[in-house]
Amino acid sequence: MPAITATAPGKIILFGEHAVVYGQPAIAVPVNQVRARAVISARPDQPRGWIHLQAPDIGLENNWGNLPRDHPLIVIIKGVLNAAGIDQPPALTVRVTSTIPIAAGLGSGAAVSVAIIRALSEFLGRPFSDNEISQLAFEVEKLHHGTPSGIDNTVITYEKPIYFIKDSIEKPGKKEVFPVSKPFTIVIGDTGTPSPTAAVVRDVREAWQRDRITFESLFESTGGIVNQARAAIETGDNTALGPLMNENQDILENISVSSGKLAQLIQSARQAGALGAKLSGAGRGGNMIALATREPAGEIANALSTAGATSTIITTVNG
Ligand code: PMV
């Protein structure tokens, strides 16, 4: 049997992170320049039920029986076997590689899940629908993040710009794929500081519990920004996105999820001519994004590198 390969992109949240956990809409887009890749190969020399895992990026190579049951890769594979109703699969090797930086707000965990689920379900002869893939990846996200909104698994499964509203903790949420009237360019800059999403989301929850009135109002304002951004993208009024990004960043600073390094990169992107800039994802570290319509994106990327970004990606958002 030939090896089965599937890949999944990274993602950025353009508008609405954190507020989305509290029921407000958010907009996310795939980032195709970075991807996770899963290759499933048959091992006819081994008995049924034998599974070997290779994840060279994290230095992992082992038989699955030797790994803890709650290891994220085991949870993903078990989830696929359960959903496919297969107890003892034919012997196989799962190899995962990824160019998506870890804990950087680019969706690396969800992309690894989606790539494995897609490849393994196909290998088993039961290819899952996008809906099933997203739902299963959401279950794994809960292990990483505790209370994820479901936006990462959704945008990474469907690989299209999405407007997303969280559902319950049982379901991955409601997505609308919407038209991008005119493509626009985003420059992504990495602070190089890993920032585990779960910790930041927990801090925001504690702050919200202490002062619900202020936080609800900040989240509602974020929802307003997201709706204006969607309208601007749909009508091709891309320059309007810049000020909206800046407004969203002000709110993210107010809820204490920015950082000195993020602020420095955001400032340097704006000085280099970006129409707007903000953090993307959980914040505290990870990545920031800048809208590059007026200036060549390369100049903004250079300015970000000079200001200390450890890597930059230039990506175009289109329908
Ligand atoms: O850091 P990321 O890319 O996983 O994004 C987290 C986005 C949050 O809104 C902060 C959390 C969530 O589950 O939506």
Is residue 295 predicted with pLDDT exceeding 70?
no
Interstrand relation of 92-98 and 51-55 (parallel, antiparallel or unpaired): parallel
Helix (H, G, I), strand (E, B) or coil at 316: strand
- Separation between Cα atoms, residue 186 and residue 191, nearest integer Å: 16
What DSSP letter does each residue of 237-273 carry, written as one string? -GGGHHHHHHHHHHHHHHTT---HHHHHHHHHHHHTT
- Separation between Cα atoms, residue 143 and residue 284, nearest integer Å: 21
C-alpha 17 – ligand 1 centre gap (Å): 6
Mean pLDDT of the region 11-25: 96
- Separation between Cα atoms, residue 116 and residue 95, nearest integer Å: 9
Residue 105 CB–ligand 1 contact under 6 Å? yes
What is the total residue count of the chain? Answer: 319
| DSSP assigned state of 94 | E
What pLDDT score does 127 carry? 96
The residue with greater pLDDT, 291 or 144, is 291
Residue ranges of E strands in the chain: 4-15, 26-42, 51-55, 60-63, 92-98, 162-165, 174-177, 184-190, 276-280, 287-291, 311-317
What DSSP letter does each residue of 180-223 carry, written as one string? -SS-EEEEEEE-S----HHHHHHHHHHHHHH-HHHHHHHHHHHH
Q: How far is CA 34 from CA 57, 153, 249, 281, in A?
A: 14, 15, 24, 16
Mean pLDDT of the region 150-156: 94
Instruction: Select from 160, 135, 158 the least CA-distant residue to 148.
Output: 135
In the chain, the domains with their CATH numbers are 4-177 (3.30.230.10), 184-317 (3.30.70.890)
Residue type, 25: P
Residue 148 CB–ligand 1 contact under 6 Å? yes
What pLDDT score does 173 carry? 72
Is residue 7 predicted with pLDDT exceeding 90?
yes
Average of per-residue pLDDT values in the chain:
94
- Separation between Cα atoms, residue 137 and residue 24, nearest integer Å: 21
C-alpha 108 – ligand 1 centre gap (Å): 12
What pLDDT score does 104 carry? 82
Mean pLDDT of the region 2-13: 96
Task: Name the residue of 11, 13, 106 to mutate for ligand 1: max ligand atoms within 8 A of Cβ.
Answer: 13
pLDDT in tens, 159-212: 999 999 987 666 667 888 999 999 999 999 999 998 888 899 999 999 999 999
Is residue 294 predicted with pLDDT exceeding 70?
no
Q: Given pLDDT bands bounded at 50, 70 and 90, which one contains residue 39?
A: very high
What pLDDT score does 9 carry? 98
| DSSP assigned state of 282 | S
Q: How far is CA 105 from CA 20, 75, 228, in A?
A: 15, 22, 23
Mean pLDDT of the region 120-130: 96
What pLDDT score does 255 carry? 97
C-alpha 227 – ligand 1 centre gap (Å): 18
- Separation between Cα atoms, residue 87 and residue 139, nearest integer Å: 19
**Residue partners of 38: CB distance under 8 A and separation at least 6:** 5, 6, 7, 94, 95, 96, 112, 115, 116, 118, 119, 120
Is residue 143 predicted with pLDDT exceeding 90?
no
Is residue 158 predicted with pLDDT exceeding 70?
yes
Task: Please state the atom number of ligand 1 nearest to the C-alpha of residue 107.
Answer: 3
Task: Name the residue of 201, 208, 255, 279 to mutate for ligand 1: max ligand atoms within 8 A of Cβ.
Answer: 201
Please say whether the beta carbons of 287 and 280 come within 8 A: yes
What pLDDT score does 53 carry? 97
pLDDT in tens, 216-262: 999 999 999 999 999 999 999 999 999 999 999 999 999 999 999 99
